[in-house]
Amino acid sequence: MPYRLDGHSQPDLPQSHYLDNRIYTDPVVFETEKKTILTDSWRFVCHASELQKAFDYRLVRVAGHELVLIKGEDETIRAFYNTCAHRGARLLRQPAGNLEGGRMTCFYHLWSFDNRGRCLTVSQPSGYKDSSVRRESTGLKEVRLDSVFDLVFVCLDDEAGSLRDFLGDSLIEAMRVPFGSASLEVFHLHRSEIQCNWKLFVETNCEGYHELLHLLNRNTAVSQQEYRSRQWRMHENGHLSFDPAKISYDKLDYAERAEGLLPGMEPNGHAVVNLFPDVMLNCRSTVIRIDSLIPVSPGKTILECRGLGVAGDSQSVRDMRIDHHNEVWGPTGVNLAEDIWAVQTQMQNMKEGSSRFSVIAREEEGPMSDGSLRNFYAEWSRITNLQPHHVEV
Ligand code: FES
Ligand SMILES: [Fe+2]
């Protein structure tokens, strides 16, 4: 006799409580996301500490476009398409560095541009004397850039609202500890290419039910009385925060996080904020992890993980933060590897059609409710105009 819930038949649930797994695999869905959510939203690209000196630059990728972020001599970070105004060659080719003299020279016909995108030289300009091409009216296409608490965002849509409107007052307040309380600095960045749709990784970062996967969380959080009162808070525009709580590191053989606390954080405190669509800010008392995603194709995503401490940390405090970071996160930490393992197995089964529907039907109060996932998909649907429970193919 067929089961009512078998991953293949349409679940007998309200439409908001299950997902058509083709939202993860269908190329048309992915292209729609690229043209909507991934282009119109403000997307986190780096922390301001990653561009320290004048003319420091780094290349970032947003909705398939490569952008260059450059810090000017006026301390302002600007973003441009990494595309020459002449005939579209790739302007900068190293992932990060410092521009000598603040000048970018295209390798193809040697046009050059300054750190504000203004054209400095057009090679052999006499050839243009009978056309309207003039150095003074030539430059790089700038992209909107803004930051909150040194988190740097860009938006490809010139018509979208401001970053502050996108994040909203209540979420900015939830980010204040620790992001608004100290001058922070990135000490770790790694990228992983994960074989899954970007939304599967978002989901693992914004639901508490899967904490059962992690031995660390089972022992230090889920089994503790206080854990049950943690709630996901929904903010406008699809953002989320997870109530701060204390983690019982003593239940496993992990060092307590009682010294070198980030400003405003409690000993052994834990706080999470999720920025729609694909960024997680995760703080464990002494150290911060920022996850952000670069969706490449329906089944491939680049995950960027940053570790942050306080700018000017002494060597011993920084070493402690790095230890705390790497114990749980980092490429050799336990939790990140477990999450990637889980989402890649989901993707493999969804790709083959071995799993057609997913259930997001938990209604309880507390951290294991699926309300956070339903909130994500309500916003996803509002922006893409697609139905998460049914994909037209
Ligand atoms: S494409 Fe850059 S100078 Fe020609
Ligand atoms: Fe996890």
- Structure confidence at residue 280 as a pLDDT band (50, 70, 90): very high
136, with CB counted inside 10 A (0-12, 13-18, 19+), is exposed
pLDDT band at residue 334 using 50, 70 and 90 as cut-offs: confident
15 alpha carbon – ligand 2 mean position (Å): 26
CA dist list (Å): 26 to 56, 204, 276, 392: 39, 20, 21, 10
Mean pLDDT, rounded, of the chain: 96
Taking only the tens place, the pLDDT of each residue in 218-277 is 999 999 888 888 999 999 999 999 999 999 999 988 888 999 999 999 999 999 999 999
Give the ligand whose atoms come closest to the C-alpha of residue 82: 1
Neighbours of ion ligand 2 (CB under 5 A): 339
Round to whole Å and give the CA distance between 343 and 109: 45
Q: Which atom of ligand 1 is nearest to the CA of 110?
A: 3
Once rounded to an integer, what is the mean pLDDT over residues 369-373? Answer: 97
Give the domains, in start order, of the chain with CATH numbers.
Answer: 43-159 (2.102.10.10), 184-384 (3.90.380.10)
CA distance 179 to 272: 12
Q: What is the pLDDT of residues 168-197, one digit of tens each?
A: 999 999 999 999 989 999 999 999 999 999
Contact by Cβ (8 Å): 115, 78:
yes
Instruction: Please write the tens of the pLDDT for every residue from 339-370.
Output: 999 999 999 999 999 999 999 999 998 999 99
- Point out the ligand 1 atom lying closest to the alpha carbon of residue 109: 3
Ligand 1 atom nearest to 91, measured from its CA = 2
- Whether cis (ω within 30° of 0) applies to the bond prior to 244 is no
Closest ligand to Cα 90: 1
Signed CA dihedral, 150, 152, 153, 156: sign only:
positive
Determine contact, residues 22/28, Cβ cutoff 8 Å: no
Does residue 1 have a pLDDT over 80?
A: no
pTM: 0.96
Helix (H, G, I), strand (E, B) or coil at 104: strand
In this predicted structure, the answer to whether residue 288 has a pLDDT above a threshold of 80 is yes
